Structure 1
């Protein structure tokens, strides 16, 4: 009988996603950033809803800190992109998402 040896499987423990990398007009940059921020805000709102949905004993208290922070960032970005638009500037943006497996 023949025995087959297999190489050990190496599990990947991290991943980088190059999400944004380029030069954009102020309008394009604003569209990209607003889209990302809206998705994150909606994610947190859905998390809040799913934690309290159907639980009549829940006091519906939820830390809105992250949602408020993201909404504030939207306003800051709006002003920044508006200024760049008025000056006719292009914007270079880079964004990499780093993901790590935690034990």
Structure 2
């Protein structure tokens, strides 16, 4: 009797449904602002670790990303605040896609 061996394919990407649902503007603001703040803090910690290793290191890339995230936070806050008092809820669909680099 011959056995067939199935070739396993290596998974190279994964999607994670991080946020999905309908939220009040206040809830949406909490979710979005906290997610962005966590990412900003991640980059600030990376920058500090680089600096501790080398006080003359260049952190332009991290500084730029932190600035981009601060702008995105302001944009999100402005949009969400414009919906406050309208009686409308906001839908958030946040999917993270992870791929092998």
Do the structures match in fold with TM over 0.5? yes
Which residue of the partner structure matches residue 28 of structure 2?
29
Pair 1:44 & 2:48 matched: no
**Whose Rg is larger?**
1
Q: Structure 1: 5+ residue runs without aligned partners?
A: none
Q: CA deviation at 1:9?
A: 3.3
Query: Larger % of helix: which?
Result: 2
CA-to-aligned-CA distance 1:28-63 (integer Å, 9 cap, x gap)? 1001001110110001111111112142xx424311
Q: CA deviation at 1:6?
A: 5.3
Q: Distance in 2 between matches of 1:52 and 1:5?
A: 55
How many residue pairs get aligned? The number is 98
1:22 is paired with a residue of what secondary structure?
Answer: strand
Q: Distance in 1 between matches of 2:10 and 2:20?
A: 28
RMSD of equivalent CA atoms: 1.8
Q: TM-score, normalised by structure 1?
A: 0.83
